[in-house]
Structure 1
């Protein structure tokens, strides 16, 4: 095991005691809340019992009034509206959400959607998409999850008299596109209080703004949050504030969704207890697969289809594409690993390139490389017009967007977040870029960012794992960035009974630890820890873990998911 254990600072005892007396939780539970910034009755109320008053007015967002008025004018005048979005999960859920909302108030003959072809048009707003709009009589495009840096494309659209409303959540550049309206809470001049919305979240705020005019029943509006929950989980945005409220709301609607495509994607036995982790591992890869291997239009059609037979055909196609994506991912990852391991250079970053790699999976490959070579990573392949394209992934809290911005004069375009980004670049700039990027990482990366770390919330006693704690733990959900599952530590323990290997190749293991207060054993599962079976059998150890729920035939049980272990000699 190679992770560095970083213990979070002990919270102020007076604040913990104040929380204990005001909300009635125990010491451990109150401590975990304070570590999340929940340190008084009001913040605890907002966290555990959010309500409609916790939503911010959409009109706090810069340009929202302009966007609502322009769409209302288009509807009143019978203009054709094109809903445009990126080909990843956030983009396709954004398009589906906006299309479904508008279809409640607009005749579908005036409405359509457009997803760019990853392999032909690349990321973001494309000339081809604008030309499609012009040639087919669309005078207004609502762009979602993209557009904040599309200065030249918006200028092109303006010349063709095609108006744009941009709904984005990526970091803007120095210049804002000259669209009719640009909705992005990360704009410096935007006073919207919550800055961490997904692209789909910005689209939902626009729907809320429109609903002040069109008055769709609130329950119908919030039914669309099942798509928003998928977006929030898949785009790995902060699970705090409004995102957490929307995700919690969205999960409720997802568990009883009436969208045929989503119901067919979710196994019936999981539906009642579907959580954020299920979205990340069960739904997101399948929705993404269409855009990675084929065309993401199928993903949108899956989410908006009201025809069961059509939805089943799309689901079958997407599952086949996901199987193909997995095989391609494995092959390209191995090829990239070989490049890294054959290099003799000592470096602070990982940069690999092969012109034959599929653009659709290089982001996944970058993440895989970080798992084994813990460095800021870029995976390059060839684009369509002689340029190179790359997906970038980062480590810990190293800001890869900022690192790429330092090199941005070399790029045709780039964009993204602190943890993940993408770019395109002329091939002639590649060698210079490698030197510049490596130099920036070398000069700016911190020591704690150079090795995998696990942040520990608290050391506990095994008797702390009781019914009250499990109930509290469930209320902390939904989990995600900035509201992760608590990582707890048990010190100096031993296996009670046997250690059993699991999985086809014995890669995983299971054992139990004894709880004296109940005279029961607690199940522990270690994924990819099969090689340590003998150590677990013969040594005492400190265990870092998260608590997981298991639902089976109406019964709920709990197990400890081993995140790391330190064996005693």
Structure 2
């Protein structure tokens, strides 16, 4: 197979024994905890039994008091408020959350939302959005999941007498916009203890701050965490600290959600067991499809809808758009892959492709696909507006693509993002010079371990370790996400017990069982994209790298091993 197996260092046995005796877990379970830096009783308590009391005061965030006072003043004076957000899942859930909260306080006559058009306006705060606010007498804009670098745009709004409150979680530049308030835990001068909130999470903190004045019943405030859980999952932020508390609460809310749009979007037979991976693979792509192919405002309309007929119509449209997104994604990926070969980029340190007619809405997905194939920092360009080019960047392993692009920022009109993904725009005549510079920067900075795909193994186990106690422990580790991923475990020297059969339309996947000699049980294994190795599994022994997955059927929970990689003997 193609992955390099990297084993995590063995944790200190004394610490493992101590955590085992203090919380009553076995050695394997305690080892997994210590590898996550959960090495004492207090950390274990906070991890396994997060409480709402663990959520920090919103007023620890810089400018929170200013933001709350300005919104309160707008409400008191009957000003119109425009909730503005990005067109991706984090942005649209943030807008829906803020809109639903404010609508409990002010009439819809004084409230509206705005999502920029991806194709016509691009990412972030736009002149069109500000002009819309001016033409419709909005004197306050609350920007969510964008705005931290919108210095010129906020200046423009100020010149028109429109105030801005920014709720963002992206890295700020050297200068902050001259908004009434800039809420971003990544500000250098912000003492908020937790830095990894989603954009929707920052918006939720603002709602918490406002609720110290407006006293909406706490149950109604926390009803909005279903949207927050979706943003945390979809934006792939750290599943630690406050995010973990809010995600657990949000998943619990989501499974019983009263949000009409979400209930129609989530299959009812799955909703009671919905988890983070369901959001990432089943819900986020559908919500994103609106902004990628048509307009992100449809997603917000769905999430704030109180009209069953309207919600049904929006869901139907979104599902059609998602089908279109899949087709575009597949076709452009083929075209981009051909271009890599035709331009002899296989031996480069980076991958850069461009076509003027590729759809802007899917170039980020295509960039992700190319990193899977070539495993290099990747940029996919297409034409934007006004003769400029736009690109989505994706990275590999722990290579910081944002930092690499920042070293090339003299070529950009706009630029933003984080370590794993970024977006930018540039003038066409800068493209060739940028390609040379970016390839040079990557070549100088990329390390050997970042040049090949790898899998990090938590620990090696015995087949009999896969028992009810371990499966119960594994369930308690959820919700999973960055910095709290599912444990990747290794089983050595296994053989198939019984048959091996292919699965899927093209027989691309495998299903087989391995045997536990002591318990006498057979454990189900699923090997996605391993169909070509059917004969090897039948005839050879092997080592497995895998994660444990749950399967829910008619109220019963069973477990299977998701084979992440295999080494045949």
Alignment match, 2:512: 511
Secondary structure at 1:501's aligned position in 2? strand
Task: Confirm or deny that 1:464 pairs with 2:465.
Answer: yes
Alignment match, 1:314: 314
Alignment match, 2:102: 102
CA distance in 1, matches of 2:252, 2:418: 28
Task: Confirm or deny that 1:557 pairs with 2:558.
Answer: yes
Alignment match, 1:285: 285
Q: Residues 87-116 of structure 1: CA distance to partner in whole angstroms, max 9, x if unpaired?
A: 000000000000000000111100000000
CA distance in 1, matches of 2:90, 2:380: 21
Secondary structure at 1:550's aligned position in 2? strand
Alignment match, 1:8: 8
Secondary structure at 1:368's aligned position in 2? helix
Q: Give the TM-score taking structure 1 as reference length.
A: 0.99
CA contact under 8 A between 2:233 and 2:280: conserved in structure 1? yes
Q: Give the TM-score taking structure 2 as reference length.
A: 0.99
CA distance in 1, matches of 2:430, 2:509: 44
CA distance in 2, matches of 1:258, 1:389: 39
Correspondences of 1:258-269 after superposition (within 5 Å): 258-269=258-269
Alignment match, 2:390: 389
Q: What displacement does 1:416 show?
A: 0.6
Q: What displacement does 1:344 show?
A: 2.2
CA contact under 8 A between 2:501 and 2:510: conserved in structure 1? yes
Alignment match, 2:522: 521
Alignment match, 2:231: 231
CA distance in 1, matches of 2:272, 2:279: 13
Q: Residues 489-512 of structure 1: CA distance to partner in whole angstroms, max 9, x if unpaired?
A: 000111011110111111000000
Q: What displacement does 1:202 show?
A: 0.2
Q: What displacement does 1:517 show?
A: 2.1
Alignment match, 1:548: 549
CA distance in 2, matches of 1:280, 1:534: 33
CA distance in 1, matches of 2:484, 2:446: 25
CA distance in 2, matches of 1:32, 1:342: 46
CA contact under 8 A between 2:459 and 2:490: conserved in structure 1? yes
User: 4+ runs of 1 displaced by more than 3 Å?
Assistant: none
Alignment match, 1:343: 343
Structure 2: gaps of 5 or more residues: none
CA distance in 1, matches of 2:559, 2:361: 37
Alignment match, 2:158: 158
Alignment match, 2:83: 83
Secondary structure at 2:182's aligned position in 1? strand
CA distance in 2, matches of 1:249, 1:547: 23
Alignment match, 2:42: 42
Q: What displacement does 1:217 show?
A: 0.7
CA distance in 2, matches of 1:360, 1:483: 30
Aligned-residue RMSD, C-alpha: 0.6
Secondary structure at 2:269's aligned position in 1? helix
Q: What displacement does 1:353 show?
A: 0.2
CA contact under 8 A between 2:491 and 2:543: conserved in structure 1? yes
Alignment match, 2:167: 167
Secondary structure at 2:472's aligned position in 1? helix
Q: Residues 364-423 of structure 1: CA distance to partner in whole angstroms, max 9, x if unpaired?
A: 000000111100000000001100000000000100110111011110011011100000
CA distance in 2, matches of 1:38, 1:339: 47
CA distance in 2, matches of 1:37, 1:67: 36
Correspondences of 1:290-369 after superposition (within 5 Å): 290-345=290-345, 346-369=347-370
CA distance in 1, matches of 2:406, 2:206: 29
Correspondences of 1:400-419 after superposition (within 5 Å): 400-419=401-420
Q: How many residues align?
A: 568
Q: What displacement does 1:268 show?
A: 1.1
CA contact under 8 A between 2:52 and 2:245: conserved in structure 1? no
CA contact under 8 A between 2:460 and 2:489: conserved in structure 1? yes
Secondary structure at 1:269's aligned position in 2? coil
Secondary structure at 1:558's aligned position in 2? strand
Structure 1: gaps of 5 or more residues: none
CA distance in 2, matches of 1:273, 1:451: 35
Secondary structure at 1:489's aligned position in 2? strand
Alignment match, 1:436: 437
CA distance in 1, matches of 2:342, 2:433: 21
CA distance in 1, matches of 2:69, 2:122: 31
Secondary structure at 2:105's aligned position in 1? coil
Q: What displacement does 1:359 show?
A: 0.1
Correspondences of 1:168-187 after superposition (within 5 Å): 168-187=168-187
CA distance in 2, matches of 1:103, 1:192: 27
CA distance in 1, matches of 2:343, 2:137: 54
Secondary structure at 1:268's aligned position in 2? coil
CA distance in 1, matches of 2:344, 2:82: 51
Secondary structure at 2:270's aligned position in 1? helix
CA distance in 2, matches of 1:515, 1:343: 51
CA distance in 2, matches of 1:514, 1:487: 20
Secondary structure at 1:146's aligned position in 2? coil
